[in-house]
Protein backbone atom coordinates (compact mmCIF):
# COMPACT_ATOMS: atom_id res chain seq x y z
CA UNK A 1 0.00 0.00 0.00
CA UNK A 2 1.27 3.49 -0.85
CA UNK A 3 1.51 5.50 2.36
CA UNK A 4 2.90 8.54 0.50
CA UNK A 5 3.97 9.04 -3.10
CA UNK A 6 6.14 11.76 -4.65
CA UNK A 7 3.47 14.48 -4.49
CA UNK A 8 3.65 14.30 -0.68
CA UNK A 9 -0.01 13.51 0.06
CA UNK A 10 -0.15 11.06 2.96
CA UNK A 11 -2.81 8.37 3.17
CA UNK A 12 -2.75 8.58 6.96
CA UNK A 13 -3.27 11.58 9.29
CA UNK A 14 0.36 12.70 9.37
CA UNK A 15 1.05 15.60 11.73
CA UNK A 16 3.86 16.70 9.42
CA UNK A 17 1.48 16.90 6.46
CA UNK A 18 -1.40 18.87 7.95
CA UNK A 19 -4.01 19.87 5.41
CA UNK A 20 -2.45 17.52 2.85
CA UNK A 21 -3.46 14.06 4.02
CA UNK A 22 -6.38 11.66 3.62
CA UNK A 23 -7.91 12.61 6.97
CA UNK A 24 -7.96 16.36 6.35
CA UNK A 25 -8.70 16.27 2.63
CA UNK A 26 -10.65 13.99 0.31
CA UNK A 27 -12.01 10.84 2.00
CA UNK A 28 -11.46 12.16 5.56
CA UNK A 29 -10.29 8.70 6.61
CA UNK A 30 -7.13 6.99 7.78
CA UNK A 31 -6.70 4.80 4.71
CA UNK A 32 -3.46 3.21 5.88
CA UNK A 33 -4.97 2.28 9.23
CA UNK A 34 -8.17 0.88 7.74
CA UNK A 35 -6.35 -1.25 5.19
CA UNK A 36 -3.83 -2.47 7.77
CA UNK A 37 -6.69 -3.59 10.02
CA UNK A 38 -8.56 -5.23 7.14
CA UNK A 39 -5.55 -7.23 5.99
CA UNK A 40 -4.71 -8.43 9.49
CA UNK A 41 -8.29 -9.40 10.30
CA UNK A 42 -9.46 -10.87 6.99
CA UNK A 43 -6.24 -12.21 5.45
CA UNK A 44 -3.80 -12.78 8.34
CA UNK A 45 -1.60 -14.97 6.11
CA UNK A 46 -0.74 -11.90 4.00
CA UNK A 47 2.06 -9.67 5.27
CA UNK A 48 1.25 -5.96 5.45
CA UNK A 49 3.72 -3.65 3.74
CA UNK A 50 3.98 0.09 3.13
CA UNK A 51 5.49 1.97 0.23
CA UNK A 52 6.97 5.34 1.22
CA UNK A 53 8.53 8.03 -0.96
CA UNK A 54 11.53 9.77 0.60
CA UNK A 55 11.37 12.95 -1.46
CA UNK A 56 8.47 15.19 -2.55
CA UNK A 57 8.31 16.97 -5.87
CA UNK A 58 6.87 20.25 -4.62
CA UNK A 59 7.91 20.55 -0.97
CA UNK A 60 9.72 23.90 -0.51
CA UNK A 61 12.01 22.47 2.18
CA UNK A 62 13.17 19.71 -0.16
CA UNK A 63 13.60 22.16 -3.03
CA UNK A 64 15.74 24.37 -0.78
CA UNK A 65 17.87 21.44 0.41
CA UNK A 66 18.41 20.38 -3.18
CA UNK A 67 19.44 23.91 -4.14
CA UNK A 68 21.98 23.79 -1.30
CA UNK A 69 23.46 20.59 -2.77
CA UNK A 70 21.99 18.69 0.19
CA UNK A 71 24.29 20.41 2.69
CA UNK A 72 21.11 21.25 4.62
CA UNK A 73 18.49 18.68 5.53
CA UNK A 74 15.53 20.67 6.80
CA UNK A 75 13.15 18.54 4.73
CA UNK A 76 14.39 15.29 6.25
CA UNK A 77 14.25 16.62 9.81
CA UNK A 78 10.83 18.22 9.39
CA UNK A 79 9.12 15.66 7.15
CA UNK A 80 10.75 12.41 6.02
CA UNK A 81 12.31 11.17 9.26
CA UNK A 82 9.37 11.85 11.61
CA UNK A 83 6.91 10.40 9.11
CA UNK A 84 8.91 7.19 8.79
CA UNK A 85 8.96 6.86 12.57
CA UNK A 86 5.22 7.55 12.62
CA UNK A 87 4.19 4.85 10.15
CA UNK A 88 6.37 2.25 11.87
CA UNK A 89 5.21 3.05 15.39
CA UNK A 90 1.56 3.45 14.42
CA UNK A 91 0.98 0.70 11.85
CA UNK A 92 3.83 -1.75 12.51
CA UNK A 93 4.31 -2.92 8.92
CA UNK A 94 6.06 -6.15 8.00
CA UNK A 95 7.66 -4.58 4.91
CA UNK A 96 8.85 -1.06 4.08
CA UNK A 97 9.32 -0.35 0.39
CA UNK A 98 11.33 2.86 0.25
CA UNK A 99 11.46 4.93 -2.95
CA UNK A 100 12.17 8.46 -4.18
CA UNK A 101 15.71 8.34 -2.80
CA UNK A 102 17.73 8.62 -6.00
CA UNK A 103 18.47 12.35 -6.07
CA UNK A 104 20.34 12.52 -2.77
CA UNK A 105 22.96 10.41 -0.93
CA UNK A 106 21.99 8.21 1.99
CA UNK A 107 23.62 10.56 4.53
CA UNK A 108 21.20 13.30 3.52
CA UNK A 109 18.23 11.02 4.23
CA UNK A 110 19.70 9.88 7.57
CA UNK A 111 19.04 6.36 6.34
CA UNK A 112 21.59 4.62 8.53
CA UNK A 113 20.14 6.25 11.66
CA UNK A 114 16.61 5.23 10.71
CA UNK A 115 17.58 1.68 9.78
CA UNK A 116 19.63 1.25 12.96
CA UNK A 117 16.57 2.23 14.98
CA UNK A 118 14.28 0.09 12.82
CA UNK A 119 16.28 -3.12 13.26
CA UNK A 120 17.36 -2.59 16.88
CA UNK A 121 14.76 -0.60 18.80
CA UNK A 122 11.55 -0.31 16.77
CA UNK A 123 8.39 -2.32 17.58
CA UNK A 124 9.00 -4.40 14.42
CA UNK A 125 12.74 -4.96 14.88
CA UNK A 126 12.44 -8.75 14.77
CA UNK A 127 10.10 -9.01 11.78
CA UNK A 128 10.71 -6.05 9.46
CA UNK A 129 11.90 -6.47 5.86
CA UNK A 130 13.14 -3.52 3.79
CA UNK A 131 14.20 -2.96 0.19
CA UNK A 132 17.37 -1.28 -1.12
CA UNK A 133 16.26 2.30 -1.89
CA UNK A 134 17.81 4.39 0.89
CA UNK A 135 20.13 6.72 -0.99
CA UNK A 136 21.45 7.51 -4.45
CA UNK A 137 23.98 4.67 -4.39
CA UNK A 138 22.29 1.96 -2.31
CA UNK A 139 20.26 -0.02 -4.85
CA UNK A 140 21.57 -3.54 -5.20
CA UNK A 141 23.91 -3.01 -2.23
CA UNK A 142 21.96 -2.62 1.01
CA UNK A 143 18.59 -4.07 1.99
CA UNK A 144 16.79 -7.22 3.09
CA UNK A 145 16.02 -7.68 -0.59
CA UNK A 146 17.09 -5.86 -3.74
CA UNK A 147 14.83 -4.20 -6.31
CA UNK A 148 17.53 -2.46 -8.37
CA UNK A 149 15.57 -0.45 -10.95
CA UNK A 150 11.85 -0.59 -11.67
CA UNK A 151 10.91 -3.74 -13.60
CA UNK A 152 14.29 -5.38 -12.84
CA UNK A 153 14.52 -8.87 -14.33
CA UNK A 154 18.07 -10.35 -14.44
CA UNK A 155 17.35 -13.63 -16.22
CA UNK A 156 19.64 -15.58 -13.88
CA UNK A 157 19.70 -16.51 -10.19
CA UNK A 158 20.98 -13.74 -7.92
CA UNK A 159 23.22 -14.05 -4.85
CA UNK A 160 20.85 -11.92 -2.74
CA UNK A 161 17.11 -12.01 -2.22
CA UNK A 162 15.45 -9.83 -4.85
CA UNK A 163 12.16 -8.67 -6.26
CA UNK A 164 10.98 -8.03 -9.81
CA UNK A 165 7.99 -5.78 -10.25
CA UNK A 166 5.69 -4.60 -12.98
CA UNK A 167 2.75 -2.27 -13.33
CA UNK A 168 -0.27 -3.43 -15.32
CA UNK A 169 -0.39 -0.04 -17.06
CA UNK A 170 2.72 0.03 -19.27
CA UNK A 171 3.16 3.77 -18.83
CA UNK A 172 2.17 4.56 -15.24
CA UNK A 173 2.32 3.20 -11.70
CA UNK A 174 -0.87 5.13 -10.90
CA UNK A 175 -4.34 5.52 -12.39
CA UNK A 176 -4.71 7.31 -15.74
CA UNK A 177 -8.13 8.43 -16.93
CA UNK A 178 -6.92 8.56 -20.54
CA UNK A 179 -5.45 5.04 -20.62
CA UNK A 180 -6.66 2.87 -23.52
CA UNK A 181 -6.81 -0.90 -23.93
CA UNK A 182 -3.44 -1.13 -25.70
CA UNK A 183 -1.74 0.60 -22.74
CA UNK A 184 -2.20 -2.45 -20.51
CA UNK A 185 -0.11 -5.60 -20.39
CA UNK A 186 -1.72 -8.69 -21.88
CA UNK A 187 -2.31 -11.81 -19.73
CA UNK A 188 0.56 -13.50 -21.57
CA UNK A 189 2.92 -10.60 -20.77
CA UNK A 190 1.97 -10.63 -17.08
CA UNK A 191 2.35 -14.39 -16.66
CA UNK A 192 5.58 -14.42 -18.67
CA UNK A 193 7.03 -11.91 -16.22
CA UNK A 194 5.80 -13.97 -13.27
CA UNK A 195 7.43 -17.10 -14.67
CA UNK A 196 10.78 -15.50 -15.51
CA UNK A 197 11.05 -13.78 -12.13
CA UNK A 198 10.20 -16.87 -10.08
CA UNK A 199 12.50 -19.10 -12.17
CA UNK A 200 15.37 -16.85 -11.10
CA UNK A 201 14.41 -16.94 -7.42
CA UNK A 202 12.75 -13.54 -7.29
CA UNK A 203 9.64 -12.31 -5.53
CA UNK A 204 7.02 -11.05 -7.99
CA UNK A 205 5.41 -7.65 -7.36
CA UNK A 206 2.31 -6.57 -9.30
CA UNK A 207 1.31 -2.91 -9.11
CA UNK A 208 -2.23 -1.66 -9.71
CA UNK A 209 -3.48 1.93 -9.81
CA UNK A 210 -6.93 2.37 -8.22
CA UNK A 211 -9.21 5.30 -8.98
CA UNK A 212 -9.60 8.28 -6.63
CA UNK A 213 -12.40 6.49 -4.79
CA UNK A 214 -10.49 3.24 -4.38
CA UNK A 215 -12.12 1.30 -7.20
CA UNK A 216 -10.09 -1.12 -9.27
CA UNK A 217 -10.29 -0.35 -13.02
CA UNK A 218 -12.07 -3.26 -14.76
CA UNK A 219 -9.14 -4.16 -17.00
CA UNK A 220 -6.76 -4.33 -14.03
CA UNK A 221 -9.23 -6.53 -12.18
CA UNK A 222 -9.47 -8.76 -15.24
CA UNK A 223 -5.68 -9.16 -15.40
CA UNK A 224 -5.49 -10.10 -11.72
CA UNK A 225 -8.28 -12.65 -12.14
CA UNK A 226 -6.59 -14.10 -15.21
CA UNK A 227 -3.35 -14.47 -13.28
CA UNK A 228 -5.33 -16.17 -10.50
CA UNK A 229 -6.96 -18.46 -13.05
CA UNK A 230 -3.55 -19.48 -14.36
CA UNK A 231 -2.16 -20.02 -10.86
CA UNK A 232 -5.17 -22.16 -9.91
CA UNK A 233 -4.06 -24.66 -12.57
CA UNK A 234 -0.30 -24.16 -12.52
CA UNK A 235 0.48 -22.81 -9.06
CA UNK A 236 2.38 -25.92 -7.97
CA UNK A 237 5.18 -24.78 -10.30
CA UNK A 238 5.31 -21.41 -8.53
CA UNK A 239 4.40 -21.72 -4.85
CA UNK A 240 7.19 -23.09 -2.61
CA UNK A 241 9.40 -23.53 -5.68
CA UNK A 242 13.12 -22.89 -5.94
CA UNK A 243 15.26 -22.24 -9.03
CA UNK A 244 16.50 -25.30 -10.87
CA UNK A 245 20.06 -25.99 -12.04
CA UNK A 246 19.43 -23.77 -15.06
CA UNK A 247 16.83 -21.05 -15.26
CA UNK A 248 15.86 -21.38 -18.94
CA UNK A 249 16.52 -23.97 -21.59
CA UNK A 250 19.73 -23.67 -23.57
CA UNK A 251 18.21 -24.98 -26.82
CA UNK A 252 14.56 -23.97 -26.88
CA UNK A 253 13.97 -20.26 -26.11
CA UNK A 254 11.08 -19.42 -23.84
CA UNK A 255 11.19 -22.43 -21.52
CA UNK A 256 11.80 -21.55 -17.87
CA UNK A 257 12.35 -24.02 -15.02
CA UNK A 258 11.48 -24.29 -11.34
CA UNK A 259 12.01 -27.07 -8.82
CA UNK A 260 9.84 -28.45 -6.00
CA UNK A 261 11.30 -31.44 -4.20
CA UNK A 262 12.08 -34.10 -6.81
CA UNK A 263 9.86 -32.50 -9.44
CA UNK A 264 11.07 -30.17 -12.18
CA UNK A 265 8.66 -27.83 -13.96
CA UNK A 266 9.27 -26.46 -17.43
CA UNK A 267 7.11 -23.43 -18.23
CA UNK A 268 6.70 -22.97 -21.97
CA UNK A 269 5.88 -19.42 -23.07
CA UNK A 270 4.67 -20.29 -26.59
CA UNK A 271 2.78 -23.35 -27.80
CA UNK A 272 5.12 -25.02 -30.32
CA UNK A 273 3.90 -25.01 -33.92
CA UNK A 274 5.64 -28.34 -34.47
CA UNK A 275 3.72 -29.92 -31.59
CA UNK A 276 6.84 -30.72 -29.56
CA UNK A 277 9.75 -29.11 -27.73
CA UNK A 278 13.28 -30.35 -27.18
CA UNK A 279 14.76 -29.59 -23.77
CA UNK A 280 18.54 -29.64 -23.83
CA UNK A 281 18.69 -28.98 -20.09
CA UNK A 282 16.75 -32.10 -19.10
CA UNK A 283 18.24 -35.58 -18.96
CA UNK A 284 15.67 -38.35 -18.65
CA UNK A 285 15.92 -41.80 -17.08
CA UNK A 286 13.85 -44.95 -17.37
CA UNK A 287 11.64 -43.53 -14.61
CA UNK A 288 11.01 -40.12 -16.17
CA UNK A 289 7.34 -39.14 -16.50
CA UNK A 290 6.23 -35.89 -18.11
CA UNK A 291 2.69 -34.51 -17.89
CA UNK A 292 1.17 -31.14 -18.67
CA UNK A 293 -0.71 -29.25 -15.97
CA UNK A 294 -4.20 -28.45 -17.16
CA UNK A 295 -4.29 -31.38 -19.61
CA UNK A 296 -7.79 -32.77 -19.13
CA UNK A 297 -6.70 -36.26 -20.21
CA UNK A 298 -4.19 -36.54 -17.37
CA UNK A 299 -2.09 -38.87 -19.50
CA UNK A 300 1.74 -38.86 -19.57
CA UNK A 301 3.19 -37.18 -22.63
CA UNK A 302 5.27 -38.99 -25.21
CA UNK A 303 8.99 -38.37 -24.68
CA UNK A 304 12.20 -39.39 -26.37
CA UNK A 305 15.76 -38.73 -25.27
CA UNK A 306 17.83 -37.64 -28.25
CA UNK A 307 21.27 -36.22 -28.87
CA UNK A 308 20.03 -32.65 -28.44
CA UNK A 309 17.94 -33.32 -25.35
CA UNK A 310 14.58 -34.60 -24.19
CA UNK A 311 11.90 -34.25 -26.86
CA UNK A 312 8.40 -33.82 -25.42
CA UNK A 313 5.33 -34.19 -27.64
CA UNK A 314 2.52 -31.87 -26.60
CA UNK A 315 -1.09 -33.08 -26.26
CA UNK A 316 -3.92 -31.78 -28.39
CA UNK A 317 -4.37 -28.14 -27.43
CA UNK A 318 -8.12 -28.67 -27.40
CA UNK A 319 -7.69 -30.97 -24.38
CA UNK A 320 -5.68 -28.41 -22.39
CA UNK A 321 -7.56 -26.10 -20.04
CA UNK A 322 -4.63 -23.82 -19.25
CA UNK A 323 -3.92 -20.69 -21.30
CA UNK A 324 -1.07 -18.27 -22.03
CA UNK A 325 1.84 -20.29 -20.59
CA UNK A 326 1.96 -24.10 -20.41
CA UNK A 327 3.67 -26.10 -17.68
CA UNK A 328 5.43 -29.44 -18.12
CA UNK A 329 5.67 -31.44 -14.89
CA UNK A 330 8.69 -33.76 -14.94
CA UNK A 331 9.50 -36.48 -12.42
CA UNK A 332 12.27 -39.06 -12.50
CA UNK A 333 14.74 -36.62 -13.98
CA UNK A 334 18.40 -37.60 -13.74
CA UNK A 335 19.48 -36.56 -10.21
CA UNK A 336 22.65 -35.05 -11.65
CA UNK A 337 20.43 -32.36 -13.18
CA UNK A 338 18.77 -31.35 -9.90
CA UNK A 339 19.89 -28.71 -7.46
CA UNK A 340 17.92 -26.82 -4.84
CA UNK A 341 18.61 -23.10 -4.47
CA UNK A 342 16.79 -21.00 -1.88
CA UNK A 343 16.90 -17.36 -2.85
CA UNK A 344 13.30 -16.17 -3.02
CA UNK A 345 11.97 -14.08 -0.15
CA UNK A 346 8.98 -15.63 1.63
CA UNK A 347 6.55 -12.82 0.88
Q: How many CB atoms lie within 10 A of CB 306?
A: 10
Cβ-in-10-Å burial (0-12, 13-18, 19+) of 159 comes to: exposed
Dihedral over Cα of 212, 216, 219, 224: its sign: positive
Residues of the chain with CATH 2.60.40.1180: 242-337
Topology of the domain comprising 242-337? Immunoglobulin-like (2.60.40)
Residues of the chain with CATH 3.20.20.80: 1-144
CA distances 243 to 213, 272, 336, 342, Å, are: 40, 24, 15, 7
pLDDT at 263 over 90: yes
The lowest-confidence range among 9-13, 237-241, 342-346 is 342-346
pLDDT at 322 over 70: yes
pLDDT in tens, 36-80: 999 999 999 999 999 999 999 999 999 999 999 999 999 999 999
pLDDT in tens, 11-37: 999 999 999 999 999 999 999 999 999
Quote the pTM value. Answer: 0.90
pLDDT in tens, 187-208: 999 999 999 999 999 999 999 9
Per-residue burial over 79-109, b = 16 or more CB atoms within 10 Å of its CB, e = otherwise: bbbebbebbbebbbbbbbbbbbbeebebebb
CATH of domain 1-144: 3.20.20.80
Cβ-in-10-Å burial (0-12, 13-18, 19+) of 19 comes to: exposed
pLDDT band per the 50, 70, 90 thresholds, residue 338:
very low
Amino acid sequence: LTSKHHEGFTNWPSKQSWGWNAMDLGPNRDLVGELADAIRKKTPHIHFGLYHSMFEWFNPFYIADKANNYQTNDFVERKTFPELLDIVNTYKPDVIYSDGEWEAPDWYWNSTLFLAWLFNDSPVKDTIVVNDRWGADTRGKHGSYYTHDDKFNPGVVQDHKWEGGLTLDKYSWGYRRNAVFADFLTPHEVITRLVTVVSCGGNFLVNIGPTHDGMLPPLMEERLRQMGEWLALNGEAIYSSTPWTVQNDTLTPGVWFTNVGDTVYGMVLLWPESGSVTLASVESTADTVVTMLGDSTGQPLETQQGEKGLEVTFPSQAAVISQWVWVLKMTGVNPAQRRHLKTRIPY
